[in-house]
């Protein structure tokens, strides 16, 4: 058992971010990069509570989790106090995270039971987002086992197995365990083809997932076959599919086809996104490299 102590970090933040912090007292945040802190408040001003070590400077890893304790204004500066959370214990995050997701999904999905399923799934996706890949895999495996042992409602059971299997495929992909990722991706694809109910989901999602895994395995022709099948199964504007197909054709050095799809991707993005939106930048960069 380590003693707790206080370390500090100074930041210059926009007023919009400060406003968001004020609204987030009691909530959890995670770092998206390494965070350097000091024992001395004259070096930095943002107080964070962590476990004691022997060094004067402390470096938090990418994906470190904190709970915002309070925020106050003193001596012409805001002081935000946060508690460090042990990433190995995810239980402390679940109830708060589930409550937020359920509130959102209940307001945006017709079927509140299915929204609960999505809330459970989104927590695992959150673990992936903070690079806790192995924890996400363990979480999804346990979730899948629970689903498989519960067959009271065929409609819910079928959809949840499909959803969690797909999440497991994504988690194993993030962890670079591509054989297991492919196993669950194909399970998801097979479940979709045998659906007994309509859940308003597209088979293109499963096909794109399989394509992405094959691309990670450098099996480029398989990746192309599945992404093209996905493209044949979408009816709406799917600029990201055009981008993926263009990227794969680049890998195959078929630059003529790559340019065709990337230009279509760019055309769709120009209709949807503003000139300054970052989403419009990646495609011209890709085209520039080819041309």
Q: Is the pLDDT of residue 187 over 90?
A: yes
Number of residues that this document lists for the chain: 291
Domains and CATH numbers, the chain: 4-85 (3.90.176.10), 91-290 (1.25.40.10)
Instruction: Compute the distance between CA of residue 280 and CA of residue 270 in angstroms, rounded to an integer.
Output: 7
For the full predicted model, state whether its pTM sits above 0.75.
no
Tell me the backbone φ, ψ of residue 160, rounded to 5 degrees: -70, -40
> What six digits make up the tokens of 243?
């981008």
Indicate the pLDDT class of residue 199, thresholds 50, 70 and 90: low
**Of 248, 253, 259, 245, residue with least CA distance to 204:** 245
Model confidence pLDDT, tens digit, residues 215-269: 999 999 999 999 999 888 876 667 788 888 888 998 999 988 988 888 888 887 7
Q: Any idea which of 10-14, 21-25, 38-42, 200-204 has the lowest mean pLDDT? A: 38-42
pLDDT higher at 122 or 100: 122
Q: What are the helix and strand counts (H, E) for the chain?
A: 11, 7
Strand (E) or helix (H) holding 260: helix 255-272
Question: Considering only 68-82, 91-105, 130-144, 268-282, which range has the smallest mean pLDDT?
Answer: 91-105
Instruction: Tell me the mean pLDDT in the region 275-285.
Output: 63
């Amino acid at each position: 058992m380590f003693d707790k102590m206080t370390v500090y970090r100074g930041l210059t933040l926009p007023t919009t971010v400060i406003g968001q912090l004020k609204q987030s007292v009691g909530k959890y945040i995670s770092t998206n990069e390494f965070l350097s802190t000091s024992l001395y408040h004259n070096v930095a001003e943002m107080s964070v509570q962590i476990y004691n070590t022997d060094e004067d400077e402390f470096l938090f890893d990418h994906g470190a989790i904190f709970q915002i304790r309070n925020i106050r204004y003193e001596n012409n500066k805001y002081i935000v106090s946060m508690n460090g959370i042990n990433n190995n214990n995810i239980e402390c995050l679940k109830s708060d995270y589930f409550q937020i997701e359920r509130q959102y999904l209940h307001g945006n999905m017709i079927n509140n039971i299915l929204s609960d399923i999505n809330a459970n799934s989104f927590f695992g996706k959150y673990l992936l987002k903070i690079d806790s890949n192995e924890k996400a895999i363990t979480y999804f495996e346990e979730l899948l086992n629970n689903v498989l042992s519960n067959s009271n409602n065929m409609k819910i059971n079928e959809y949840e197995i499909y959803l969690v299997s797909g999440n497991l495929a994504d988690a194993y992909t993030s962890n670079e365990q591509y054989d297991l990722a492919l196993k669950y991706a194909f399970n998801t694809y097979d479940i979709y083809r045998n659906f007994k109910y309509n859940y308003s989901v597209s088979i293109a999602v499963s096909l794109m997932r399989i394509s992405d895994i094959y691309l990670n395995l450098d099996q480029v022709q398989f990746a192309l076959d599945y992404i093209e099948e996905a493209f044949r199964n979408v009816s709406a504007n799917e600029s990201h599919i055009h981008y993926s197909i263009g990227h794969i054709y680049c890998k195959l050095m078929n630059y003529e086809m790559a340019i065709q799809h990337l230009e279509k991707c760019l055309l769709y993005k120009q209709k949807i996104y503003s000139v300054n939106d970052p989403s419009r930048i990646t495609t011209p960069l890709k085209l520039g490299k080819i041309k």
